[in-house]
Chains A and B, each alone.
Chain A
């Protein structure tokens, strides 16, 4: 049974490092990508999955104790609500008059509500 613990420990550390990398890359995406809509891609996808990975690794470290169960609840909540928040911000930004960046090639939403 000692091997199971070592394998679980290894995997939880691996997922922790992977999740932290993803969160960091998401925040780097906020800095580097050109306009609001592309930044939304970075935060909703990478940031959320990174946070879920960190919470999953905490669950693997502590098992089904109150800390672990609450951690996975936080992770699932982030994973469920991030698309809704991204959808709301994107719609509000477009109707508020934020233009797409210069390298955009197509905008079929522009003519539907003006």
Chain B
């Protein structure tokens, strides 16, 4: 029962990525794409968390932590580049 729920949740998150991919490809403006990539990272972090529990392995949770940090830094960097034209 429990593992069925977790497998279904992984499948559900795969479905949730589809709108983000649509918005990355179609999105009329650049900020739209940035938001979509950011949201996709959130979904992947959730998937990695659930998968770490399924596999009983702590390494996937490390990957999730580093991915969350990189996503935040990347979003801030791209926003600053769009705003001012320079990164640093």
Residue of chain A at shortest CB distance from B34: A89
The majority secondary structure among interface residues of chain A is helix
Are A77 and B46 in contact (CB-based, < 8 A)? no
CB distance from A36 to the nearest CB of B (A): 5
Bound form: Cα–Cα A60–B38 in Å: 27
The interface on chain B, measured as residues whose beta carbon lies within 8 A of the other chain's beta carbons, has a size of 45
Q: For window 32-83 of chain A, which residues contact chain B by CB distance below 8 Å?
A: 36, 39-40, 43, 47-48, 50-51, 54-55, 58, 61-62, 66-67, 70-71, 73-74, 77-78, 81
Cβ contact of A74, chosen from B9, B12, B49, B80, cutoff 8 A? B49
Are the C-beta atoms of B76 and A85 separated by less than 8 Å?
yes
Residues of A that sit less than 8 Å from B by CB:
13, 16-17, 19-20, 23-24, 26-28, 30-31, 36, 39-40, 43, 47-48, 50-51, 54-55, 58, 61-62, 66-67, 70-71, 73-74, 77-78, 81, 84-85, 88-89, 91-93, 95-96, 98
A-B CB contact pairs (8 Å), 19 listed: A13-B2, A20-B12, A27-B39, A31-B23, A36-B35, A43-B38, A54-B49, A58-B53, A67-B56, A71-B52, A71-B61, A73-B65, A77-B65, A84-B72, A84-B76, A85-B38, A89-B34, A92-B31, A96-B30
